[in-house]
Structure 1
Amino acid sequence: MSHKRIPKRRAAVAAGGVAALGAAAILLPNAHASQGGAADQAAPRTLQAKDASDVASRLAHTLGDAFAGSYYDGAKRQLVVDVAGGGDDAVMRARKAGATVRKVGNSSAALKSAARTLKAKAAVPGSAWAVDPRTNKVVVTADRTVTGARWNRLQSAVQGLGSGMATLKRSAGAFKTFASGGDAIFAQADGGGTIRCSLGFNVKASDGSPAFLTAGHCGVAAKQWADSQDGQPVATVDQATFPGNDFSLLKYDDPNTQAPSEVATGNGQTVPITQAVDATVGQTVFRMGSTTGLHDGTVTGLDATVNFQSETDPNGVDTVNGLIQTNVCAEPGDSGGSLFTQDGGAVGLTSGGSGDCTQGGETFFQPVTAALQATGATLGDGGGAAGNGDANGAGDQSGADQQGGGDQQAGGDGSGADGSGAASADPSGAQGGAAMGAGS
């Protein structure tokens, strides 16, 4: 790797080419939704997704065992809360908070017990599961690699839980982490070749130094990272966790680095990131990554478990827990990229999934709230976590994706599924993406 002098100015890392126009069009300022009604009004309130997430968090605490999940109805802009047991008092409290209430049969405890059963009996590579509050069930997904004895094992475990508790579906693709060779943030793998990932969010480390978050499977694969394929390293891994969780904290090597708390979405546009927020099922979210640029979609599940095929053990599995599941597309090189909301909430870091940005697929994200809590970092401009992320990290740091620069699966050639790849009109003269700091 050749060396170059990093200019003493703010720069942006290439975290994607030209943004997808559909997603970009949605990222325009809009009027705040009406909150409507007094606090004790029984009719459901009109809420923005962030407000719905806050209400859901409070209700999860106040309703206790009666709370069985929630989701955001984007069409009606209402929070829907599942209540299992708890009697009329729980229903009344949820309605008083402004939620639409559904009485369901499966409690949160029962759903979590089902997930534990799956972990014990069916943690086969290529499988994933998450609680879907819209169906009040655990939805289990098997990718195309799950066949033969593995399929029979997974199917048997799901059937053992009963049709009222869990469902099983197929994914056309294969679950994989989304690191690849190409551009964006770069490192040399121990086994040779170039690894490409995407910067997630700039933060301040617990000692006040400038840093950023990206995927854990990127951080365990290499220690030093550059902002161009042939450039000198500009950041060093401080903490990295994969599997178990999937996050890394990298500190900028220059302590004078300016690390703006924003995501560049292409065409000179940026979204200021002001706080970390917990995801809500049904919420519209945006993903920025180095391969495919900007795409949007919906949160489909929370507390998801994904069993990736181990990159180091052909018979092994790298299990990651506590993830956000979405239908936002992603491809190799997008790993670690930003998942965020229109109003500047940092939601997640791209972990992996199946499919691509031509046919779609399932994608999974490490919650930012959990990463901040585990690392002690705060968002770049000082914003802390606004949720109760739980970092259930495992110390095992095996299985990092170390695909070489020649690996171009699922569109990993950096062109992006939408045919993009040209630099956008970012004010700093770089491609659109998560803003990366350079010395001031």
Structure 2
Amino acid sequence: MSHKRIPKRKAAIAVGGVAALGAAALLLPSANASQSNGDAATPRTFKSGDVSNVASMLASQLGEAFAGSYYDAANKQLVINVVGNNSNVVNQIERAGAVAHQVQNSTAELEAAAKTLKADATIPGTAWSVDPKTNEIRVTADSTVTGDKWNTVESTVEKLGSDVATLKKSAGTLKTFVDGGDAIFGGNARCSLGFNVTAGDGSPAFLTAGHCGVAVAQWSDSQGGAPIATVDQATFPGDGDFALVKYDDPATQTNSAVNVGNGQSVQINQVVEAAVGQQVFRMGSTTGLNDGNVTGLNATVNYPEGTVTGLIQTDVCAEPGDSGGSLFTQDGGAVGLTSGGSGDCTAGGETFFQPVTTALAATGATLGAGDAGDAGAGDAGAGDAGAGDAGAGAGDAGAGDAGDAGAGAGDAGAGEAVDPSESAADPGAGEAADAGAGQQEGTHHKSRKRHQ
């Protein structure tokens, strides 16, 4: 077996690696296996990562009767919304181990309402997504939506009906979370690495936010350092917020893991579709590790730069610099890439994520590190990312100062407890210039491609 040279600087890049971890004291518990008691009439208990496959199967079987689904985390049950009270439909749901819940609004009716919002209320600072728990479309307007803009959004929601859509005011401002400072650097911009992948041509690469990829063509692992990766594809705004960035050295070897700080990491072994009610964890270069729940799917967000569709909505906090960072499950499922939102990790807020599934499909990449063999979307992609490699962080991180962040972590794979409760040093983001949405020099272009 041949051995490739691993440049020291590049080998320090771990998925979602950061040089400083915020004081997020979180424990990732061992996952409970899905269980079935053999009684078709009694609901099964599910792991949150398993519900999307069952929900998709039932959606195809039930047709128009299917009106969405969500995960009841307290009872570990999958709830399927149905229109009407057809006993055959209910039996199909129960045979699959799920719970049938009768609702008023069909999927088609909610999709029609979303089209009305797009036509009549596409205003920067607004967002909407389907909430299957309430069987409604939840519309959010941030603090910039005032006067006639607010009146337009409010009247549009009222016309849809209180049983179809609800409107709430957010104290923050919807924005993309790009900033100057730490993690991966491009010019004066700072973003976070999401997941290491293998590009369609077999070269090593990583996914990050599209608004990072359209802002800056080349990225480094240290502030002011030499570029180590070049944007190959980027989409923002439009049908997503994702970028594929290829490492410049094809010999680069990387980890299929998320570094959560303090020498700990979580192995990433599969791609997971988000499910409402699912607990998720986010890692980013500004605020470190935070957790929360998925609250909406197929979200539309109207950023100042343009509208982005197909996102995941959550109640996980995030701040500038966290853009592109990893959203994952406790047992190693890759879920999303941090896009933007409102609020912060002091006051709270909502954050939107690009689904990893659609980013991989659009770019032709597969989950996992290079040299990982068959690292398909559902595979571990472990390759050379063994236990001893799993915790390397983003090198050279503090506001311009170099330093390994959590190198040499033990294997914290799926099902193992990770307790990143100890705070690391301040990332010192303030020393870098802010590269927010308004300062990106008009470089937002959908699907820009760069070839090495």
AA of the residue aligned to 1:17: A
**Residues 13-412 of structure 1: pairs in structure 2 closer than 5 A:** 14-15=17-18, 17-18=20-21, 20-23=23-26, 25=27, 27-30=28-31, 32-38=32-38, 41-85=40-84, 87-188=86-187, 194-244=188-238, 245-310=240-305, 318-380=306-368, 381=372, 382-385=374-377
Matched position secondary structure for 2:353: strand
Are the structure 2 counterparts of residues 370 and 9 from structure 1 closer, same or farther at C-alpha, using a change threshold of 3 Å?
A: closer
Deviation at 1:266? 1.0
Compute the TM-score of the two structures, normalised by the length of structure 2: 0.80
CA distance in 1 between counterparts of 2:365 and 2:10 reads 23
Are the aligned partners of 1:306 and 1:320 in contact in 2 as well (CA < 8 Å)? Answer: yes
CA distance in 1 between counterparts of 2:291 and 2:335 reads 13
Matched position secondary structure for 1:123: coil
Deviation at 1:17? 1.8
CA distance in 2 between counterparts of 1:373 and 1:205 reads 11
State yes or no: 1:426 paired with 2:407.
yes
- 1:313 is matched with which residue? none
Deviation at 1:53? 1.9
Are the aligned partners of 1:275 and 1:346 in contact in 2 as well (CA < 8 Å)? Answer: yes
AA of the residue aligned to 2:279: T
AA of the residue aligned to 1:426: A
Q: After superposition, give the CA deviation of every residue in 1:374-417 in whole Å (9 maximum; x if it has no partner).
A: 01100124443359xxxxxxxxxxxxxxxxxxxxxxxxx989xx
Are the aligned partners of 2:315 and 2:349 in contact in 1 as well (CA < 8 Å)? Answer: yes
Q: After superposition, give the CA deviation of every residue in 1:131-178 in whole Å (9 maximum; x if it has no partner).
A: 000000000000011000100000011011011100001111000000
Are the aligned partners of 1:290 and 1:414 in contact in 2 as well (CA < 8 Å)? Answer: no
Deviation at 1:267? 1.3
Are the aligned partners of 2:264 and 2:409 in contact in 1 as well (CA < 8 Å)? Answer: no
Are the aligned partners of 2:66 and 2:81 in contact in 1 as well (CA < 8 Å)? Answer: yes
CA distance in 2 between counterparts of 1:386 and 1:264 reads 20
CA distance in 1 between counterparts of 2:294 and 2:97 reads 21
Are the aligned partners of 2:265 and 2:409 in contact in 1 as well (CA < 8 Å)? Answer: no
- 1:7 is matched with which residue? 8
Are the aligned partners of 2:257 and 2:265 in contact in 1 as well (CA < 8 Å)? Answer: yes
AA of the residue aligned to 1:272: Q
Are the aligned partners of 1:423 and 1:431 in contact in 2 as well (CA < 8 Å)? Answer: no
CA distance in 2 between counterparts of 1:163 and 1:338 reads 35
Are the aligned partners of 1:17 and 1:423 in contact in 2 as well (CA < 8 Å)? Answer: no
CA distance in 1 between counterparts of 2:34 and 2:159 reads 45
Number of residue-to-residue matches in the alignment: 383
Deviation at 1:18? 2.2
Compute the TM-score of the two structures, normalised by the length of structure 1: 0.83
Q: Identity of counterpart residues, as a percentage?
A: 62
Are the structure 2 counterparts of residues 8 and 289 from structure 1 closer, same or farther at C-alpha, using a change threshold of 3 Å?
A: closer
CA distance in 1 between counterparts of 2:271 and 2:217 reads 26
Root-mean-square deviation over aligned CA pairs: 2.5
AA of the residue aligned to 1:360: G
Are the aligned partners of 1:177 and 1:308 in contact in 2 as well (CA < 8 Å)? Answer: yes
Matched position secondary structure for 2:21: coil
